[in-house]
């Protein structure tokens, strides 16, 4: 199977979605002529023309609002927010408009729009270009939130997001953009709300998503040297999330670690831990341990950022705590 970079898989998904449905269009800052800050939209202007891909002014609220308005007028916009940090400027349009329109107007309409938002650190980009803010959106009824870890899932979930009738926040980890993975010639869509078992194991479950899946895999390698067999559940979809898959794995391993790059406090992991402590309490042989970033802005200094971001060593330590 051919190997493809993560960013190419995003690009191909956009290309294929625009080919499949002429109502799909792209809007964002520098997405057309420049092909996007991370080149996710490269080549789309040449292929589809300026009626299908729009270089917007630096106006995140307008970009998101225009997407809402176009979506409820029959289009399927895919908006790019250049860095997820800038999504703060679009919050009213996402939270009060896109997420609420269907419910507020008695089910008269759907809002089929996607907002692509690159998150994550490791690029020495500082506190306003590195944040992982996905938990905010998972907390808002009406939104769906996805975060793939492989090129195949990036392709398949983005196609599913664009096909979906409801607003989707599609979170891409910048550190994964150059990563390679298998992508078949005619890649399938990936259903929203379904986790994947990224590594089967029997001793401990590591629930994670996005770039932290790679950290979990490295941690599992280290642990296997000590005879500890970790199972990795890649959530892929954060809202809705696959509670049944996590419970299934926990029922097998009886130990649980939840790991993400985002700030640990009040994060995605907190919800998973709370649910498992409720519905999975009888399965637990040890306290659940979380891995996440400290409660501080992402630092700029390379040394500090390296110390700040969760690593595979942190996951190894967390797993060992569940086995004490």
Partner 1 sequence: MHVADFSIGMLGANGIVGAGIPITTGSALALKMQGEGHIAVVYFGDGALAEGVVHECFNLASLWSLPVLFVCENNGWSEFSPTENQLSTSLRKITDAFSMAYTDVDGNDVVAVGEAADNLVTAMRGKPDPAVLECRTTRVRGHFEGDKQDYRDAEEISSLDARDPLRKARERLTSDGVAEDWFAGQEDAVAADIDAATEAALAAPEPPIGAVTADVYTPSAA
Residues near partner 1 (CB under 8 A): 25, 51, 54, 56-57, 59, 61-62, 64-75, 77, 92-93, 96-97, 101-110, 141-142, 144, 165-166
Tell me the three state secondary structure of residue 262.
strand
In the complex, the smallest distance separating the C-beta of residue 161 from partner 1, rounded to whole angstroms, is 13
In the DSSP assignment, the letter for residue 289 is E
Residue closer to partner 1, measured from CB, 10 or 72 = 72
For partner 1, the closer of residues 99 and 315 by Cβ is 99
Count Cβ atoms below 10 Å from residue 305 Cβ, excluding itself: 19
Q: Show the tokens assigned to 156.
A: 């398949």
Q: Which is nearer to partner 1, 64 or 84 (CB)?
A: 64
Cβ nearer to partner 1, comparing 112 with 310? 112
Determine the 3-state secondary structure of 261 from DSSP: strand
Min CB(274)–partner 1 separation in Å? 20
- Pick between residue 144 and residue 290 the one whose CB is nearest to partner 1: 144
The 3-state DSSP class for residue 119 equals strand
- Could you give the count of Cα atoms lying within 13 Å of 97 in the half-sphere of its Cβ? 19
Q: Minimum Å distance from CB 190 to partner 1?
A: 16
Nearest approach, Cβ of 150 to partner 1 (angstroms)?
25
Token pair listed for 1: 């199977």
The CB-of-99 to partner 1 minimum distance in angstroms stands at 9
Nearest by Cα to 315 from 294, 292, 298, 295: 292
Q: What are phi and psi of 148, to 5 degrees?
A: -80, 160
Residues sharing a CB contact under 8 Å with residue 197, sequence separation 6 or more, in sequence order: 231, 232, 233, 234, 245, 249
Measured from the CB atom, is 190 or 216 closer to partner 1? 190
Q: Where are the beta strands (DSSP E) in the chain?
A: 3-5, 24-28, 53-55, 76-80, 114-119, 144-146, 168-173, 180-182, 196-199, 204-208, 230-234, 237-239, 256-263, 289-293
Shortest CB 77 distance to partner 1, Å: 8
Q: How far apart are CA 145 and CA 167, in angstroms?
A: 9
Of 166 and 283, nearer to partner 1 (C-beta) is 166
Q: Catalogue the active-site residues.
A: 60, 129
Concatenate the DSSP letters of all residues of 144-182 into one string. EEE---SHHHHHHHHHHHHH-SS-EEEEEEGGGTT-EEE
Taking a C-beta distance cutoff of 8 angstroms, is the pair 159, 17 a contact? yes
**CB 206 → partner 1: shortest distance, Å?**
29
């Amino acid at each position: 199977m051919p190997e493809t970079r993560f960013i190419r898989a995003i690009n191909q998904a956009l290309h294929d979605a625009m080919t499949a449905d002429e109502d799909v269009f792209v809007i964002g800052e520098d997405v057309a002529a420049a092909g996007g800050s991370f080149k996710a939209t490269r080549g789309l202007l040449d292929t589809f023309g300026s009626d299908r891909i729009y270089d917007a002014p630096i106006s995140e609220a307008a970009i998101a609002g225009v997407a809402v308005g176009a979506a409820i007028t029959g289009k399927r916009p895919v908006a790019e927010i250049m860095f997820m940090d800038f999504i703060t400027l679009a919050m009213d349009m996402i939270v009060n408009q896109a997420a609420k329109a269907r419910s507020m107007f008695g089910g008269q309409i759907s809002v089929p729009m996607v907002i692509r938002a690159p998150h994550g650190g490791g690029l020495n980009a500082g506190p306003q270009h590195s944040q992982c803010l996905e938990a905010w959106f998972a907390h808002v009824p009406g939104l769906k939130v996805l975060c793939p870890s492989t090129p195949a899932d990036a392709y398949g979930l983005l196609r599913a997001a664009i096909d979906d009738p409801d607003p989707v926040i599609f979170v891409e980890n910048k550190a994964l953009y150059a990563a390679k993975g298998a992508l078949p010639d005619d890649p399938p869509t990936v259903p929203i709300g379904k986790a994947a078992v990224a590594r089967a194991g029997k001793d401990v479950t590591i629930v994670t998503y996005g770039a932290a899946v790679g950290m979990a895999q490295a941690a599992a390698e280290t642990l296997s040297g000590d005879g500890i067999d970790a199972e990795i559940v890649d959530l892929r979809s954060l809202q809705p999330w696959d509670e049944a898959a996590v419970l299934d794995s926990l029922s097998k391993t009886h130990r649980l670690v939840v790991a993400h790059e985002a700030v640990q406090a009040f994060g995605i992991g907190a919800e998973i831990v709370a649910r498992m402590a409720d519905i999975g309490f009888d399965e637990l042989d040890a306290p659940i341990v979380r891995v996440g970033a400290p409660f501080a802005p992402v630092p700029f200094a390379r040394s500090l950022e390296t110390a700040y971001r969760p690593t595979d060593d942190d996951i190894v330590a967390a797993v060992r705590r569940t086995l004490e």
